[in-house]
């Protein structure tokens, strides 16, 4: 079976991270530095930065912290998908209490990963998310970016 990820094996998957914890942002940068096949475009501290972010090519996957400050960030999923229609949003969190996963998926997230399991679950979740849409892994698909 051919997948969007397999088709784009020569182009790194473009990732954006949104997380209010600077220590985590630095750590996820180092994590992707060691992941062949993925490139972290940027790390943002909050959703407001998304509105003014200008990237040459849109991210294919956005890693979104469930809690930014004292607020749930699920409303941001729609904002992200309006800006980059093809992007997949994976919600990352330490807060895996019952109900949050379902709420994230209902809000449009393509995946939900506990921050306790980043090493083993994040990359598979991203690949699965990209496989759900033929446009997800295509580097040349800029149609979703609204400038």
Q: Which of 78, 82, 120, 132 binds other proteins (CB under 8 A)?
A: 120
Residues paired with residue 91 on neighbouring β-strands, in sequence order: 64, 112
Q: CA-CA distance, 57 to 122, in Å (whole number)? A: 22
The answer to whether the CB of 43 falls within 8 A of the CB of 21 is no
Binding mask 5-34 for other proteins (x = CB under 8 A): ----------------x-xx-xx--xx---
Question: Is residue 97 a contact residue for other proteins (CB under 8 A)?
Answer: yes
The answer to whether the CB of 145 falls within 8 A of the CB of 58 is yes
Residue 114: Cβ-neighbour burial (10 angstroms; 0-12, 13-18, 19+) = middle
Specify the stretch interacting with other proteins by CB under 8 A; choose among 5-13, 45-53, 82-90, 93-101: 93-101
Q: CA-CA distance, 87 to 71, in Å (whole number)? A: 22
Binding mask 38-67 for other proteins (x = CB under 8 A): -----------------------------x
Task: List phi, psi (to 5°) of 44.
Answer: -120, 150
Q: How far is the CB of 69 from other proteins (least distance, A)?
A: 12
Question: Is residue 72 a contact residue for other proteins (CB under 8 A)?
Answer: no
Question: Is residue 35 a contact residue for other proteins (CB under 8 A)?
Answer: no
Q: Which residues bind other proteins (CB under 8 A)?
A: 21, 23-24, 26-27, 30-31, 67, 94-97, 114-120
């Amino acid at each position: 079976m051919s997948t969007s990820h397999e088709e784009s094996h020569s182009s790194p998957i473009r990732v954006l991270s949104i997380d209010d914890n600077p220590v985590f942002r630095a750590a996820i940068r180092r994590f992707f530095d060691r992941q062949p096949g993925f490139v972290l475009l940027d790390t943002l501290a909050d959703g407001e930065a998304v509105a003014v972010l200008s990237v040459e090519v849109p991210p294919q996957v956005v890693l979104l912290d469930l809690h930014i400050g004292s607020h749930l960030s699920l409303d941001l999923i729609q904002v992200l998908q309006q800006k980059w229609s093809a992007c997949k949003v994976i919600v990352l969190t330490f807060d895996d209490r019952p109900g949050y996963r379902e709420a994230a998926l209902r809000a449009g997230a393509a995946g939900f990963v506990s921050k306790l399991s980043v090493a083993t679950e994040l990359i598979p979740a991203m690949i699965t998310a990209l496989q759900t849409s033929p446009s997800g892994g295509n580097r040349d698909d800029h149609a979703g970016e609204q400038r």
